[in-house]
Structure 1
Amino acid sequence: EPLASMAEKHALPVVEYWSTRQALPTSHPMHAGRDPTPWVRDADVIVAVNAMVPWVSDHVSPPEGCVVVGLGPDPQFRAVPMRSFEMDISLGGGTQATLQALSDALDAAATGDDHAERRARVAAFRDEQAQAVAKRVQQGRGRPMNPAYVSQCLSDAADDNTTFFNELGFDPGVMQFDAPKTYFSSPLSGGLGWGLTAALGAQLADRSRQVVACIGDGSYVFANPVACHQTAASHGLPLLTVVFNNGIWNAVRRSTLYMYPDGKAATANTMPITQLAAMPDHAAIARAHGAHAERVEDGADLPDAIARALEATRNGQQALLDVVVSY
Structure 2
Amino acid sequence: MYTASTAFLEALGEAGVSYIFANLGSDHPGLVEAMAEARATGRSVPALITCPNEMVALSAAHGFAQTGGRAQCVLVHVECGTQALAGAVHNAAKGRIPALIFAGSSPFTQEGELRGSRNEFIQWIQDVFDQRGLVRGYMRYDNELRTGRNVKQMIHRALQFAYSEPRGPVYLMAAREVLEEEVPRVETDLSAWQPIAPAALAPEGVEDLVAALLGARRPLVVTSYLGRKAEAVEQLVRLCRRLGVAVLESVPNYMNFPADDPLYQGCQWNEPVQNQALAEADMVLVLDSDVPWISAVSRPRSDAAIFHIDTDPLKQQMPLWYIAARRVFRADVATALRQVNARLDQATIDAPAVAARMAHYRRRHADRIEALRSREQPNGAAITPEYLTACIRARVDANTIVLNEGISNYKTIIDHLMSTRPGSMFTSGGGSLGWNGGAAIGAKLAHPEATVMALGGDGSYMFSVPSTVHWMARQYKTPFLQVVYNNRGWKSPKLSALAVHPDSYASRANDIGVSFDPPPDYAGIAAAAGGALALTLHRPEVVEPALDAALKAVREEGRAAVLDVWLPHL
With normalisation by structure 2, the TM-score equals 0.55
SS at the partner of 1:100? helix
2:521 to 278, 281, 284: 281
Q: Which amino acid aligns with 1:262?
A: D
Q: Which amino acid aligns with 1:183?
A: M
Q: Are 1:213 and 1:241, in contact at CA under 8 Å, matched by a contact in 2? A: yes
Matching residue of 2:295: 57
Matching residue of 1:162: 400
Matching residue of 1:295: 536
Shift of 1:94: 1.4
| 1:29 matched to 2:267 | no
Q: Which amino acid aligns with 2:357?
A: R
Matching residue of 2:363: 124
Distance 1:76 1:110 in 2: 34
Matching residue of 2:95: none
Distance 1:111 1:178 in 2: 27
In the TM superposition, 1:35-54 aligns within 5 A as 35=268, 37-54=275-292
Query: Which has the larger displacement, 297-306 or 254-263?
Result: 254-263
Q: Deviations over 1:92-126 (max 9, x none)?
A: 22121111112233444443324222212211211
Larger radius of gyration: 2
SS at the partner of 2:328? strand
Matching residue of 1:174: 416
2:455 to 214, 219, 234: 214
Q: Which amino acid aligns with 1:324?
A: W
In the TM superposition, 1:216-255 aligns within 5 A as 216-255=457-496
Distance 1:110 1:21 in 2: 33
Q: Which amino acid aligns with 1:295?
A: T
Shift of 1:22: 1.1
| 1:9 matched to 2:248 | no
SS at the partner of 1:16? strand
Q: Are 1:16 and 1:22, in contact at CA under 8 Å, matched by a contact in 2? A: no
In the TM superposition, 1:139-150 aligns within 5 A as 140-150=378-388
Structure 1: gaps spanning 5 or more residues = none
Q: Which amino acid aligns with 1:284?
A: G
| 1:104 matched to 2:334 | no
Q: Are 2:526 and 2:532, in contact at CA under 8 Å, matched by a contact in 1? A: yes
Q: Deviations over 1:146-174 (max 9, x none)?
A: 11100010011111111111112452111
Distance 2:348 2:489 in 1: 52
Shift of 1:141: 4.9
Shift of 1:55: 0.8
Distance 2:439 2:499 in 1: 28
Structure 2: gaps spanning 5 or more residues = 1-233, 269-273
Distance 2:428 2:282 in 1: 28
| 1:191 matched to 2:424 | no
The structure showing larger relative contact order (alpha-carbon pairs under 8 Å, at least 6 residues apart) is 1
Shift of 1:20: 2.1
SS at the partner of 1:32? strand
Matching residue of 1:79: 317
Q: How many residues align?
A: 324
Q: Deviations over 1:70-106 (max 9, x none)?
A: 1121223222111132221112221211111122334
Q: Are 1:18 and 1:185, in contact at CA under 8 Å, matched by a contact in 2? A: no
Distance 2:314 2:285 in 1: 13
Q: Are 2:262 and 2:366, in contact at CA under 8 Å, matched by a contact in 1? A: no
Matching residue of 1:261: 502
Matching residue of 1:324: 566
Q: Are 1:197 and 1:223, in contact at CA under 8 Å, matched by a contact in 2? A: yes
Q: Are 1:91 and 1:98, in contact at CA under 8 Å, matched by a contact in 2? A: no
Q: Which amino acid aligns with 2:282?
A: D
Q: Deviations over 1:27-77 (max 9, x none)?
A: 112111113821221211111111010011111221122111111212232
Query: Which has the larger displacement, 245-254 or 29-38?
Result: 29-38
Change (3 A) 1:257 1:267: same
